[in-house]
Amino acid sequence: MADDDTEAEAESTVETTAERETEAEATDDVTIDVEAIDAYEQRIEELSAAVEERDETIEELRSVVEEQSEQIDTLENQFLDLSARVADGRNLGVCPECNGPTEKKERLFRSDTIECTRCGEVIHTY
C-alpha cells in the first residue's frame, strides 16, 4: 500500500504541476491576446484615418476636375470664337462674357488686341 500511496502522490503532483503549467500558459495567452487586440484596434483607427484622408483627397480632386472642366469649356468657346473670327477675315466676333460684338484694335505702341465693344473685355492680345 505504501507503493500505491507513493504512486498516487506522484500522480497528483504531476497532475498539479501540469495544471499549473496549463494555467500559466492560459494566462500568457490572455496577455498576448489583449496586446494583439490593442494592436488590432490601433491598426483599425489608423486605417479609418487613412480612409478619411483618401475621401477628402478624392473630394478635393473632384472639385479641381470640375473647375478645370469649366475652364476647358470656356477656353474651347474662346478658341472656337477666335477661329471663327480668323476664318471671317474681318476680325469680328462675339464676346464670351456678354455676347457683344468684338473687334480687333490695332495700336501703334502696344500689342494689338481683340476687345468687346460693349463691355470692353480684352479677349485676345497679339
**DSSP3 helix / strand / coil % (the chain, rounded to 5):** 70, 10, 20
101 strand-pairing partners: 94
pTM metric for this prediction = 0.40
User: How far is it, in rounded angstroms, from Cα 74 to Cα 67?
Assistant: 11
Q: Using one digit for the tens of pLDDT, what is the confidence trace for 1-51? A: 555 556 656 566 656 666 767 666 655 555 567 888 888 999 999 999 999
User: How far is it, in rounded angstroms, from Cα 22 to Cα 110?
Assistant: 95
